[in-house]
Amino acid sequence: MSSTLESFRPVERKETLGTLVREQLRSAIMAGQFMPGEKLTIRAVAKALDVSLTPAREALFNLVAEGALETQPNGTVCVPEMDENRLIEITKIRINLEGLAAREAAPRLSPELVTKLEDTNEKLIEADEARDYTALRTLNWQFHFAIYEAAEMPLLSRMIESCWLMIGSYLNVLYPDYGQVNVGIDIHREIIKAVKARDAEKLEATIALDIRTAGDWLAEMIRKRAVNGAD
Protein backbone atom coordinates (compact mmCIF):
# COMPACT_ATOMS: atom_id res chain seq x y z
CA MET A 1 0.00 0.00 0.00
CA SER A 2 1.15 3.56 -0.68
CA SER A 3 2.90 5.13 2.32
CA THR A 4 0.62 8.15 1.87
CA LEU A 5 -2.50 5.99 2.10
CA GLU A 6 -1.12 4.33 5.23
CA SER A 7 -0.96 7.76 6.91
CA PHE A 8 -4.66 8.45 6.34
CA ARG A 9 -7.12 8.28 9.23
CA PRO A 10 -10.60 6.77 8.94
CA VAL A 11 -13.08 9.40 7.72
CA GLU A 12 -15.86 10.68 9.95
CA ARG A 13 -19.28 9.65 8.73
CA LYS A 14 -21.08 13.01 8.60
CA GLU A 15 -21.50 13.27 4.83
CA THR A 16 -21.70 10.80 1.98
CA LEU A 17 -18.73 8.49 2.34
CA GLY A 18 -17.86 8.75 -1.33
CA THR A 19 -17.72 12.55 -1.01
CA LEU A 20 -15.53 12.42 2.09
CA VAL A 21 -13.14 9.94 0.49
CA ARG A 22 -12.97 12.02 -2.69
CA GLU A 23 -12.21 15.24 -0.80
CA GLN A 24 -9.46 13.62 1.24
CA LEU A 25 -7.87 12.20 -1.89
CA ARG A 26 -8.24 15.57 -3.69
CA SER A 27 -6.47 17.36 -0.86
CA ALA A 28 -3.65 14.82 -0.84
CA ILE A 29 -3.19 15.11 -4.62
CA MET A 30 -3.11 18.93 -4.52
CA ALA A 31 -0.65 18.86 -1.63
CA GLY A 32 1.71 16.63 -3.62
CA GLN A 33 1.38 13.53 -1.46
CA PHE A 34 1.33 11.13 -4.41
CA MET A 35 3.97 10.49 -7.05
CA PRO A 36 3.39 10.97 -10.80
CA GLY A 37 2.17 7.67 -12.20
CA GLU A 38 1.39 6.21 -8.77
CA LYS A 39 -1.36 3.57 -8.87
CA LEU A 40 -4.39 3.83 -6.58
CA THR A 41 -6.51 0.73 -6.16
CA ILE A 42 -10.05 0.69 -4.84
CA ARG A 43 -9.08 -1.88 -2.21
CA ALA A 44 -6.09 0.13 -0.96
CA VAL A 45 -8.11 3.34 -0.66
CA ALA A 46 -10.95 1.52 1.11
CA LYS A 47 -8.54 -0.05 3.59
CA ALA A 48 -6.69 3.21 4.28
CA LEU A 49 -9.89 5.11 5.05
CA ASP A 50 -11.73 2.23 6.70
CA VAL A 51 -14.64 2.31 4.27
CA SER A 52 -16.25 -0.27 2.01
CA LEU A 53 -15.27 -0.70 -1.62
CA THR A 54 -18.30 1.24 -2.91
CA PRO A 55 -17.39 4.75 -1.62
CA ALA A 56 -13.73 4.15 -2.51
CA ARG A 57 -14.75 3.22 -6.06
CA GLU A 58 -17.09 6.22 -6.27
CA ALA A 59 -14.34 8.61 -5.11
CA LEU A 60 -11.75 7.28 -7.55
CA PHE A 61 -14.13 7.34 -10.52
CA ASN A 62 -15.25 10.88 -9.66
CA LEU A 63 -11.62 12.01 -9.57
CA VAL A 64 -11.01 10.33 -12.93
CA ALA A 65 -13.99 12.24 -14.35
CA GLU A 66 -12.56 15.46 -12.90
CA GLY A 67 -9.18 14.81 -14.53
CA ALA A 68 -7.32 14.50 -11.24
CA LEU A 69 -6.67 10.82 -11.89
CA GLU A 70 -6.63 8.78 -15.08
CA THR A 71 -7.52 5.24 -16.09
CA GLN A 72 -4.97 3.18 -17.98
CA PRO A 73 -5.99 0.76 -20.77
CA ASN A 74 -5.94 -2.14 -18.30
CA GLY A 75 -8.37 -0.30 -16.00
CA THR A 76 -5.79 0.72 -13.41
CA VAL A 77 -6.38 4.15 -11.83
CA CYS A 78 -3.25 6.24 -11.40
CA VAL A 79 -1.95 9.76 -10.85
CA PRO A 80 -1.37 11.37 -14.28
CA GLU A 81 2.09 12.00 -15.62
CA MET A 82 2.95 15.17 -17.49
CA ASP A 83 5.16 16.31 -20.34
CA GLU A 84 6.85 19.69 -20.67
CA ASN A 85 4.28 21.16 -23.08
CA ARG A 86 1.42 20.42 -20.71
CA LEU A 87 3.40 21.88 -17.83
CA ILE A 88 3.98 25.12 -19.75
CA GLU A 89 0.27 25.41 -20.52
CA ILE A 90 -0.78 24.78 -16.91
CA THR A 91 1.84 27.24 -15.63
CA LYS A 92 0.45 30.01 -17.85
CA ILE A 93 -3.10 29.25 -16.71
CA ARG A 94 -2.05 29.19 -13.05
CA ILE A 95 -0.30 32.56 -13.30
CA ASN A 96 -3.50 34.15 -14.58
CA LEU A 97 -5.94 32.40 -12.24
CA GLU A 98 -3.87 32.61 -9.08
CA GLY A 99 -2.78 36.16 -9.87
CA LEU A 100 -6.44 37.17 -10.13
CA ALA A 101 -7.23 35.45 -6.82
CA ALA A 102 -4.30 37.18 -5.12
CA ARG A 103 -5.32 40.59 -6.46
CA GLU A 104 -8.91 40.11 -5.31
CA ALA A 105 -7.82 38.76 -1.92
CA ALA A 106 -5.41 41.58 -1.04
CA PRO A 107 -7.97 44.07 0.36
CA ARG A 108 -9.80 41.29 2.20
CA LEU A 109 -6.83 39.91 4.13
CA SER A 110 -7.75 40.36 7.79
CA PRO A 111 -5.13 40.68 10.58
CA GLU A 112 -6.14 37.18 11.71
CA LEU A 113 -5.49 35.76 8.27
CA VAL A 114 -2.15 37.56 8.05
CA THR A 115 -1.17 35.93 11.34
CA LYS A 116 -2.30 32.55 10.02
CA LEU A 117 -0.20 33.00 6.88
CA GLU A 118 2.85 33.98 8.93
CA ASP A 119 2.42 30.96 11.21
CA THR A 120 2.00 28.62 8.24
CA ASN A 121 5.07 30.06 6.57
CA GLU A 122 7.15 29.67 9.74
CA LYS A 123 6.12 26.01 9.93
CA LEU A 124 7.01 25.68 6.25
CA ILE A 125 10.48 27.11 6.92
CA GLU A 126 10.93 24.70 9.85
CA ALA A 127 9.90 21.79 7.63
CA ASP A 128 12.37 22.96 4.98
CA GLU A 129 15.20 23.16 7.51
CA ALA A 130 14.31 19.68 8.77
CA ARG A 131 14.12 18.44 5.17
CA ASP A 132 10.59 17.22 5.91
CA TYR A 133 9.32 17.67 2.38
CA THR A 134 6.04 15.84 2.97
CA ALA A 135 5.08 18.45 5.57
CA LEU A 136 6.51 21.24 3.42
CA ARG A 137 4.33 20.32 0.43
CA THR A 138 1.19 20.30 2.55
CA LEU A 139 2.06 23.61 4.22
CA ASN A 140 2.80 25.19 0.85
CA TRP A 141 -0.66 24.17 -0.37
CA GLN A 142 -2.29 25.54 2.80
CA PHE A 143 -0.34 28.80 2.50
CA HIS A 144 -1.42 29.50 -1.07
CA PHE A 145 -5.05 28.51 -0.67
CA ALA A 146 -5.46 30.60 2.47
CA ILE A 147 -4.78 33.58 0.20
CA TYR A 148 -6.93 32.42 -2.70
CA GLU A 149 -9.94 31.59 -0.53
CA ALA A 150 -9.81 35.11 0.92
CA ALA A 151 -10.81 36.36 -2.54
CA GLU A 152 -14.27 34.92 -1.79
CA MET A 153 -14.60 33.64 -5.36
CA PRO A 154 -15.49 29.95 -4.98
CA LEU A 155 -15.67 29.24 -8.71
CA LEU A 156 -12.20 30.71 -9.18
CA SER A 157 -10.90 28.68 -6.24
CA ARG A 158 -12.29 25.52 -7.82
CA MET A 159 -10.59 26.31 -11.11
CA ILE A 160 -7.28 26.83 -9.28
CA GLU A 161 -7.80 23.53 -7.48
CA SER A 162 -8.21 21.81 -10.85
CA CYS A 163 -4.79 23.08 -11.89
CA TRP A 164 -3.21 21.97 -8.62
CA LEU A 165 -4.75 18.52 -9.06
CA MET A 166 -2.87 18.22 -12.35
CA ILE A 167 0.41 19.64 -11.01
CA GLY A 168 0.41 18.46 -7.39
CA SER A 169 2.17 15.12 -7.82
CA TYR A 170 5.12 16.88 -9.47
CA LEU A 171 5.93 18.68 -6.22
CA ASN A 172 7.52 15.32 -5.38
CA VAL A 173 9.80 15.76 -8.40
CA LEU A 174 10.84 19.27 -7.31
CA TYR A 175 12.05 18.19 -3.89
CA PRO A 176 14.59 17.86 -2.42
CA ASP A 177 16.53 19.79 -5.12
CA TYR A 178 14.29 22.87 -5.11
CA GLY A 179 14.24 23.00 -1.32
CA GLN A 180 18.02 22.97 -1.07
CA VAL A 181 18.39 26.36 -2.79
CA ASN A 182 15.66 28.05 -0.71
CA VAL A 183 14.29 29.90 -3.74
CA GLY A 184 10.68 29.18 -2.81
CA ILE A 185 11.27 30.23 0.80
CA ASP A 186 12.66 33.60 -0.29
CA ILE A 187 9.68 34.24 -2.59
CA HIS A 188 7.28 33.31 0.20
CA ARG A 189 8.87 35.99 2.39
CA GLU A 190 8.13 38.53 -0.35
CA ILE A 191 4.56 37.27 -0.53
CA ILE A 192 4.22 37.85 3.22
CA LYS A 193 5.51 41.42 2.78
CA ALA A 194 2.93 42.09 0.04
CA VAL A 195 0.18 40.58 2.21
CA LYS A 196 1.08 42.81 5.16
CA ALA A 197 1.11 45.88 2.91
CA ARG A 198 -2.21 44.88 1.29
CA ASP A 199 -0.39 45.61 -1.97
CA ALA A 200 -2.53 43.88 -4.59
CA GLU A 201 -0.14 44.50 -7.51
CA LYS A 202 2.91 43.28 -5.62
CA LEU A 203 1.04 40.25 -4.28
CA GLU A 204 -0.14 39.30 -7.77
CA ALA A 205 3.37 39.77 -9.21
CA THR A 206 5.05 37.79 -6.43
CA ILE A 207 2.57 34.91 -6.72
CA ALA A 208 3.29 34.88 -10.46
CA LEU A 209 7.03 34.81 -9.76
CA ASP A 210 6.57 31.89 -7.37
CA ILE A 211 4.62 29.89 -9.96
CA ARG A 212 6.98 30.75 -12.82
CA THR A 213 10.15 29.96 -10.86
CA ALA A 214 8.86 26.58 -9.68
CA GLY A 215 7.59 25.89 -13.19
CA ASP A 216 11.03 26.54 -14.71
CA TRP A 217 12.65 24.19 -12.21
CA LEU A 218 10.01 21.56 -12.83
CA ALA A 219 10.41 21.78 -16.60
CA GLU A 220 14.10 21.04 -16.16
CA MET A 221 13.32 18.11 -13.88
CA ILE A 222 10.84 16.70 -16.43
CA ARG A 223 13.47 16.98 -19.16
CA LYS A 224 15.95 15.08 -16.99
CA ARG A 225 13.36 12.38 -16.23
CA ALA A 226 12.65 12.02 -19.94
CA VAL A 227 16.35 11.60 -20.74
CA ASN A 228 16.87 9.11 -17.92
CA GLY A 229 13.77 7.22 -18.97
CA ALA A 230 15.04 7.06 -22.55
CA ASP A 231 18.30 5.57 -21.31
Full DSSP string of 144-177: HHHHHHTT--HHHHHHHHHHHHHHGGGHHHHTTH
Biggest alpha carbon–alpha carbon distance for the chain: 53
Q: Where are the alpha helices (DSSP H) in the chain?
A: 3-6, 17-30, 42-49, 53-66, 84-105, 111-129, 133-149, 154-167, 171-174, 177-180, 183-197, 200-230
What tens digit of pLDDT does each residue of 8-46 get? 777 665 568 889 999 999 988 988 889 888 999 999 999
Q: Is the pLDDT of residue 220 over 80?
A: yes
Q: Per-residue pLDDT tens for 172-208?
A: 777 766 656 567 788 999 999 999 999 999 999 999 9
- Model confidence, pTM: 0.80
Q: Which tens digits make up the pLDDT trace of 87-118? A: 999 999 999 999 999 999 999 998 998 999 99
